[in-house]
Amino acid sequence: MNLTDRYLDCWNESDPPARRKLVDDLFAPDVVYTDPMVEAHGVDAVDATIAAVQTQFPDFVFSPIGPVDTHHNQLRFSWGLGPAGADPVVEGFDVIVTDEDGRITDVLGFLDKIPG
């Protein structure tokens, strides 16, 4: 499973203990996640951010859109958020930076389409 799939699995995991295990495995302890709505520092804050998004958009899932662009220790990909099997309600892209162990240290998120 590639990093993008593992990352989206974190965002789609609705069981809090299972999600926390995924977050702890994937993210560096001092990760910084920044998007237009939130700036989260550390795994506790990232886990809380994911939980808040799941509360705001219950029963929605994240899915990849298009190819993943990578070089060095960073990657960029687009994603959609919406009901399973339907067109996304929200679309955006993330830039992820990893450390030498492959754990995520930084996420820069951008929103391209949001509900009106």
| pLDDT reported for residue 1 | 64
- pLDDT category, 116, cuts 50, 70, 90? confident
pTM: 0.94
Q: Once rounded to an integer, what is the mean pLDDT over residues 59-81?
A: 96
Q: Once rounded to an integer, what is the mean pLDDT over residues 13-23?
A: 97
Sheet containing strand 27-35, strands side by side: 38-41, 27-35, 104-113, 90-98, 74-83, 60-71
Closest CA to 95 of 82, 114, 110: 110
* Residues 72-113 pLDDT 10s: 999 999 999 999 999 999 999 999 999 999 999 999 999 999
Neighbour count for residue 51 (Cβ, 10 Å): 14
- Indicate the pairing of strand 38-41 with strand 104-113: unpaired
Fold of 3-113: Nuclear Transport Factor 2; Chain: A, (3.10.450)
Q: Where in the chain are the domains?
A: 3-113
